[in-house]
Amino acid sequence: MVVKSEAKLVTLKINDQEVTVPEGTTILQACQAAGIEVPNLCYQPLLRPWGSCRICTVEILGRRGGLVESCAAQVREGMEVRTHSPEVLKSRQFILQMYLIDHALDCPTCDKSGECYLQDNTYLHNVHLNPYRRPKLAKPYTHLSDLIDYKWDRCIMCARCTRVCDEVIGVTAIGVLNRGLEAEIGPAYGTDLREGTCTSCGMCIAVCPVGALTDRRFGMHPWELDASETICGFCDVGCTLNVEHSRGIVRRVTHLWDRGVNHGYTCERGKWGYAQVQHPDRLESAYIRQGDEFVTADLDDALDRVAEAFRRYQGDQFAALASPENTNEENYLLQQFTRAVMGTNNIDRLRHKGQSAVSQALRDSFGRPASTNSMQEAFTDTQCMLVVGPNIGETAPVGSYWLYWSRNYRDAKTVVISHDHFPLCDRAEVWIKPPRGAEAKVIDAMARIILDAGLAHPAKDASAGFDAWREGLAKVDPEQVAAEVGIDIATLRRAAILYATGGVGEVDGRDPADYPASAIYQTLGTDRGADAHPAAVALNNLALLTGNVGRAGGGVIAFRGSANFQGATDMGCEAGYFPGYQPVDDPEIRRKFEAAWLLRWNDAAVPQNGFKPLRELPATPGLDLDGMIAAIEAGKIKAMYIAASSHEYSPGIDERLLAVLPKLEFLVVEDSFPSDLAKLAHVVLPGAMFLEKDGSYTNADRTIQRLRYAVAPPGDAQPSWWFLQEIAKRLGYNMNYRHPSFVLEEIAQLTPIYRGVSLPRLERGPLQWPVQPFGAEPSVFLELGDGLAPEAVRFVAD
């Protein structure tokens, strides 16, 4: 993340080394910037300085000097700091001696041993004699929940856990109880954490510098583990996980602070979701249906069978559905396979109604089915956040953390429109609880209020459809809407004004364009049954109306549930588009792809059962998911390849699809669990899950990130890109990508919005599309004219 700073610079001396940092920096941060290590225990990135451990004490020389806590004390011009003077070291030793009076010192059996801050510092500061020694006080383990244990004798009461729980996670499930030496960490009234607001995100364990809060599923020493940094595959926030594994088994997930879109934080799925990856029910071999039964098959046999069958369905009798949880590379290969090998544009994503609706709404309004802005702007520009849809704390948990953070640390205002009740509702300035499906009405009423208050200022060059839309809005009566959904009109008005004024909350006569930015965070797309289109479109209109599109800190950020839903869409898993939203019916573009793809045909391949190498790509858009369902019903589509990646947190599959699939003559399902879908297949291929593959994901705010192979897939399971290559090879089409990085290279060449992306470049950190060339200022939001075509941006009357 690039932080631009216009703050005054201050020069100080740390251990005689001159350091220049912006004003307002703490001494600790200045030391870190200068590469001087200052020990700290209660300091936690993203949380405000707490100042309880006093081990980060440094000495300031001079008249106004003395010992200060460097985590909170700010730099002053000309200050001279000593980080390791005798006084300082003596103080640190004292602190450590104090800790060690009652600290259990059960390091040999402690999970944290080896990465324990207290252990490290005790060693570092040479504390071995303790004049305060006495028989230790001890208390038994407390089982806070089935996942979290607390051991008082190890606790140093730094309150990192309770602060993170309160200020970032927003649930305040645990707190410091009692005073003095009797203080301990626990939930209110000693209840089980699962009974309260706890979301089991495990962040309390993650931030614990010692072994006081421990993971009940973990029982190893850190030095026995290997670590792989990868991206979480359970939702489209796209968190960076540090997956620690040994002997091919994931043992735990830890946190790389300040890394990735999640800055190291995770939710329950990120922290403990690896259990899905090594679930005993995982598919470990291929299965072939024989009558009503499945028999285990050799992978080669199964693939032969698939290739043989596919030969009979080249053309529009074939269709494929891509998994929105597979990597970009795999999705790219599947659409390439469908188009260049099977000769049809019948490709779509395996999605449900909510996802389709939101994707469509974004495309209708902005010309691109993508979020216009980035979550990271909650740290910098967003002053008001309109949160709409099902509980964001469950659907995009880490995204919700930034809302709490922004609220706590930047005084950003929050407006929630949700049928669900979750902690953010109670902390928001306004919470509107409309009946399910009535969100659109409420949002339109807000738009009407904003219009009436004279706060509308749509961008001049991007306001197509404005007049028509405004006419439609004329019949919306806010008072009536308020009465219908059972809220106070004043509440509705306040929500609208807060949003339109970027959290200022009152119309103070300034030019509407001068109010701070407001962002929309919506999770409508995670509601699998709902028709979210009207509400999603209404939100887009609202953002356009208030000039929040194409603006830092504004825009619409839509979470759609599946980890790579955005990536699958970008990769052309859509009936009408090649990767990067290049229309299939454009001959120019088609020629580009033909040149890239059709040369892979093995000309020696023998045409068989009507199957033959293609000489050109299909020119007409194919069928989307709805079209496919109808076509299967009508018997027009006879064979399908469905990449699915089911797991406990899967967003779910359209019921209508499940109902028609038995009509197919031949269905191949690649899946990781014996799901409902897999049970309908003729051949089931065992798919690898996200921890078992290399590649890239694109998250809800268009951030492309690097996925790394952490553990081997179970049994015969293989990643999708491997299956597709094998099938294609058997059909006479040579893909020959040795690794997903080669696929990504091809994507980067053929797809303008991904131009310049490569796995090596992603190693340096995430990139957001449209990707800027090396060295250029990265842009985190879509600007009008750059990323957003003004002519494609329009008000949509739904």
Residues that bind another protein (CB under 8 A): 49-55, 57, 66-67, 69, 71-74, 90-91, 94-95, 98-99, 101-102, 131-134, 156-157, 159, 175-176, 178-183, 411
Provide the b/e sequence for 57-89 (b: ≥16 CB within 10 Å).
bbbbeeeeeebbbbbebbbeeebebbbeeeebb
Least distance from another protein to the Cβ atom of residue 335, Å? 51
How far is the C-alpha of 72 from the C-alpha of 70, rounded, in Å?
5
Query: Closer CB to another protein, residue 48 or residue 421?
Result: 48
Q: Are 79 and 179 in contact (CB under 8 A)?
A: no
State the minimum distance, in angstroms, from the CB of residue 40 to another protein: 13
Q: What is the DSSP string of 515-533?
A: SPEEEEEE-GGG-TTS--H
Cα distance between residue 791 and residue 785, in whole Å: 9
Q: Could you list the beta-strand ranges (E) of 217-358.
A: 226-231, 240-246, 249-254, 286-290, 293-297, 318-322, 347-349
CA dist 214 and 153 (Å) reads: 13
Choose between 66 and 583: whose C-beta lies nearer to another protein: 66
Cα 579 from Cα 499, distance rounded (Å)? 35
90 versus 436: smaller Cβ distance to another protein? 90
Nearest partner of 24 among 67, 76, 70, judged by Cα: 76
In the complex, minimum distance from the CB of residue 180 to another protein, in angstroms, rounded to a whole number = 4
Q: Which is nearer to another protein, 137 or 659 (CB)?
A: 137
**CA pair distance 416, 432, nearest whole angstrom:** 6
Q: How far is the CB of 157 from another protein (least distance, A)?
A: 6
Distance of closest approach, residue 81 Cβ to another protein, in angstroms: 16
Q: CA-CA distance, 429 to 517, in Å (whole number)?
A: 16
**CB of residue 91 vs another protein: minimum separation in angstroms?**
6
Locate the DSSP E strands across 468-615. Answer: 517-522, 556-558, 577-578, 582-583
In DSSP terms, 14 is beta-bridged to: 17, 81
Report, in Å, the least distance between residue 201 CB and another protein: 21
Q: Name the minimum Å distance from CB 633 to another protein.
A: 59
| Residue 534 token pair | 């009207």
Backbone angles phi, psi at 369, to 5 degrees: -80, 60
Instruction: Report the nearest approach of another protein to the CB of residue 58 (Å).
Output: 12
The smaller minimum CB distance to another protein, of residues 185 and 685, is found at: 185
The CA distance from 305 to 297, in Å, is 10
Task: Give the residue with the Cβ less far from another protein, 139 or 259.
Answer: 139
Residue in 147, 154, 249 with CA at minimum distance from that of residue 201? 147
> To the nearest whole angstrom, how small is the minimum distance from the Cβ of residue 99 to another protein?
7
Structure tokens at 64: 């106004």
Pairing outcome for strands 293-297 and 666-671: unpaired
* For another protein, the closer CB: 50 or 649: 50
Peptide bond between residue 135 and the one before it cis (omega within 30 degrees of 0): no
Burial class of residue 8, CB neighbours in 10 A (0-12, 13-18, 19+): exposed
Q: DSSP per residue over 21-47, as a string?
A: EETT-BHHHHHHHTT-----SS--TTS
The tokens describing 370, both together, are 């993508």
Kindly tell me which of 155 and 767 has the beta carbon lying closer to another protein. 155
Q: Which is nearer to another protein, 118 or 639 (CB)?
A: 118
Q: Is there a contact between 390 and 418 (Cβ–Cβ < 8 Å)?
A: yes
Q: Which is nearer to another protein, 181 or 249 (CB)?
A: 181
**Closer to another protein at the Cβ: 53 or 297?**
53
Enter the tokens of residue 264: 């190291």
Half-sphere exposure of residue 46: CA atoms within 13 angstroms, side-chain side: 31
Rounded least distance, CB 160 to another protein, Å = 12
Nearer to another protein, 23 or 146 (CB): 23
Contact status, residue 720 vs residue 328, Cβ threshold 8 Å: no
597 phi, psi to nearest 5 deg: -100, -40
Instruction: Give the nearer residue to another protein in terms of CB position, either 69 or 527.
Output: 69
Is 704 strand, coil or helix?
strand
Nearest distance in Å: CB 16, another protein: 23
Of the pair 102, 574, the CB lying nearest another protein is at 102
Cα separation, 161 vs 173, whole angstroms: 10
Supply the minimum distance, in Å, between the C-beta of residue 90 and another protein: 8
CB-based contact 699:305 (threshold 8 Å): no
Nearer to another protein, 132 or 141 (CB): 132
- Which residues sit opposite 686 in a β-bridge? 671
Residue pair 498/512 in contact by the 8 Å Cβ criterion: no
Q: Which residues pair with 554 in a beta bridge?
A: none
Provide, rounded to whole angstroms, the least separation between the CB of residue 74 and another protein: 6
- In the bound complex, what is the minimum distance in angstroms from residue 10's beta carbon to another protein? 14
Contacts of 125 (CB under 8 A, 6+ apart): 39, 89, 92, 93, 96
769 within 8 A of 750, measured Cβ to Cβ: no
In the complex with another protein, the residue whose CB is nearer, 85 or 741, is 85
Secondary structure of residue 120 in the 3-state scheme? helix
Closest distance of CB 54 from another protein, Å: 5
Q: How far is the CB of 351 from another protein (least distance, A)?
A: 43
Residue 167 or 316: which CB sits closer to another protein? 167
What is the side-by-side strand order in the sheet with 240-246? 226-231, 240-246, 249-254
Q: Give the phi and the psi of residue 346 in degrees, each rounded to 5.
A: -75, 80
Cis peptide before 390 (omega within 30 of 0): no
Our CB check for another protein shows the closer of 48 and 436 to be 48
Shortest Cβ 158–another protein spacing (Å): 9
